[in-house]
Amino acid sequence: MKKSKVLEKFGWRKVEIEKVDLSWKGEPHQVPGILETPLKYFQTLFDDELLELIVEQSNLFALQTEGCNLCLTVEELKVFMSIILLFGLIRVPYYRMHREAASRYPQIADKTGRQTFDKIKRFLHFNDNCKAKKPGEQGSDKLYKIRPVLGHIRSKFFEVSPKEHHSIDEQMIPFKGRST
């Protein structure tokens, strides 16, 4: 049995299109000084309160898993984060190449030692694993490990009123861990 093709006929007609007003309707005021530079904007989101929380949780995680004290400070965390951001700008196949003689990048290599950087990277934590509920339990949260960071940054976004011209970019960071 052969299927017959049914073609629909469409009739085109001219219609007046409603014009949409795309002008900026946001508030004209801005929180003073917050958005002057990208660094100030970043520091608004990642303020000392959040950095101290990350330091506390990272030190706690090192103590819980290895029984050693990481002794991470807010200043060391800031250096670590700046290096991570530089990794996004200065591309090499493997992150340790920034320290090798042929591809050495002094702004990264001179800021912290390789072992210190690797130790911070290994123990970086945002929430206490001991308080996490197991998957399937009542009240378990897939975002538990980063929930404090998400909550903090979300609250900071509410403090900043948007400007007319914002640019949002994304970057993929290689992940070498496990995913649930």
Please give the backbone phi and psi of residue 31, each rounded to the nearest 5 degrees, phi first. -60, 125
Residue 28 to residue 3: CA distance in whole angstroms: 63
Question: Which among 93-97, 156-160, 176-180 has the top mean pLDDT?
Answer: 93-97
Token pair, residue 81, equals 């984060």
pLDDT for 147 beyond 80? yes
Higher model confidence: residue 113 or residue 177?
Answer: 113
Name the percent of the chain lying above pLDDT 90.
Answer: 45
Q: Let me know how long the chain is.
A: 180
Question: What is the pLDDT of the chain when averaged over all its residues?
Answer: 86
Residue 54 to residue 153: CA distance in whole angstroms: 13
Q: Using one digit for the tens of pLDDT, what is the confidence trace for 77-112?
A: 999 999 999 988 888 888 888 888 888 888 889 999
Residue 148 to residue 113: CA distance in whole angstroms: 28
| Token pair 């290599």 in the structure block, residue | 109
- Please, which residues have CB within 8 angstroms of residue 49's CB and are 6 or more apart in sequence? 152
Cβ 160 vs Cβ 34: under 8 Å? yes
Residue 65 to residue 147: CA distance in whole angstroms: 21
pTM for the structure as a whole: 0.72
Residue 72 to residue 61: CA distance in whole angstroms: 11
Q: Using one digit for the tens of pLDDT, what is the confidence trace for 27-82?
A: 665 555 566 788 888 998 999 999 999 999 999 999 999 999 899 999 999 999 99
Which pLDDT belongs to residue 159?
Answer: 80
SS3 120: helix
Cβ 109 vs Cβ 98: under 8 Å? yes
